[in-house]
A and B are shown apart, each in its own frame.
Chain A
Amino acid sequence: MSSALIADITAPSVNYYMLAPILIVLGGAVLSVLVEAFYPRESRRSAQIALVLTTLVVAFLAVLNIKVDAILGFTIVNSLAIDGVSVFLQGLIILSALVGALLISENRIDPLGDAFAAQSSALPGSEDELAFTERGWYQTEIWSLFLFSVGGMLIFPIANDLLTLFVALEVMSLPLYLLVGMARRRRLLSQEAALKYFVLGAFSSAFMLYGSALVYGFANSVELGDIAKALSASAANSNLMLVGGIFILIGLLFKVGAAPFHQWTPDVYQGAPTAITAFMSAGTKVAAFGALLRVFYVALSGLAWDLSAVLWAIAIITMLVGTIIGVAQSDIKRMLAYSSIAHAGFLLLGVIAQSKAALDGSLFYLAGYAFTSLGAFAVVSLVRDASGEANHLGQWAGLGKRSPVIASVFTLFLLALAGIPLTSGFVGKFAVFAAAYEKGLAPLVVVAVIASAIAGFFYVRVIVLMFFTDASGDEVSVVVPSFATAAAITITAVVTIVLGVIPQPVFDLLSNALFLK
Chain B
Amino acid sequence: MNNVAIPILALGLIAGAFAVFSVAIASITGPKRYNRARVDAYECGIEPTPQPMGGGRIPVKYYLTAMLFIVFDIEIVFLYPWAVSFDSLGIFGLFEMFLFSASVLVVYAYVWRRGGLEWD
Contact = CB atoms under 8 A, between A and B. Distances in A.
B114 interface: yes
Interface in A21-54: 30, 33-34, 36-38
B18 interface: no
Contact of A38 (B81, B88, B90, B113): B113
A34 B89 contact: no
B72 to A, nearest CB: 17
B110 interface: yes
Interface in B102-118: 103, 106-107, 109-110, 112-114
Interface in A51-109: none
A37 B114 contact: yes
Given A30-B103, A30-B106, A10 B88 contact: yes
A11 interface: yes
B84 interface: yes
B49 interface: no
Given A6-B85, A6-B88, A9-B88, A36 B93 contact: no
Contacts of B85: 6, 9
Interface in B8-38: none
A197 to B, nearest CB: 20
Contacts of B107: 33
Contacts of A7: 88
A11 B106 contact: no
Q: Looking at chain B, what size class is its interface with the partner chain?
A: 10 to 19
A33 B106 contact: yes
A10 B109 CA distance: 32
A33 B110 contact: yes
A11 B89 contact: yes
A11 B93 contact: yes
A348 to B, nearest CB: 36
Nearest to B93: A11
A1 B65 CA distance: 39
B62 interface: no
Interface residues of A, number: 11
Given A34-B109, A37-B113, A38-B113, A11 B103 contact: no
B107 to A, nearest CB: 7
Nearest to A7: B88
Given A6-B85, A30-B103, A37-B114, A11 B92 contact: yes
Nearest to B92: A11
Contacts of B113: 36-38
Contacts, number: 34
Given A6-B85, A30-B103, A11 B90 contact: yes
Nearest to B108: A37
B89 A9 contact: yes
Contacts of B114: 36-37
A37 B115 CA distance: 10
A37 B109 contact: yes
B89 A10 contact: yes
A38 B90 CA distance: 34
A32 to B, nearest CB: 10
A26 to B, nearest CB: 9
Contacts of B112: 37
Contact of A36 (B84, B90, B92, B110): B110
A37 B110 contact: yes
Contacts of A10: 88-89
Nearest to A2: B84
Contacts of A30: 103, 106
Interface string B71-87: 00000000001001100
Contacts of A38: 109, 113
A38 B106 CA distance: 11
Nearest to B111: A37
A30 B107 CA distance: 9
A242 to B, nearest CB: 24
A37 B113 CA distance: 6
A358 to B, nearest CB: 39
A11 B86 CA distance: 10
- 3 cross-chain pairs, A with B, having the tightest CB-CB distances, nearest first: A11-B92, A37-B113, A9-B85
Interface of A: 6-7, 9-11, 30, 33-34, 36-38
Given A34-B109, A36-B113, 12 more contacts: A6-B85, A6-B88, A9-B81, A10-B89, A11-B93, A30-B103, A33-B110, A34-B106, A37-B109, A37-B112, A37-B113, A38-B109
28 contacts: A6-B84, A6-B85, A6-B88, A7-B88, A9-B85, A9-B88, A9-B89, A10-B88, A11-B88, A11-B89, A11-B90, A11-B92, A11-B93, A30-B103, A30-B106, A33-B106, A33-B107, A33-B110, A34-B106, A36-B110, A36-B113, A36-B114, A37-B106, A37-B109, A37-B110, A37-B113, A37-B114, A38-B113
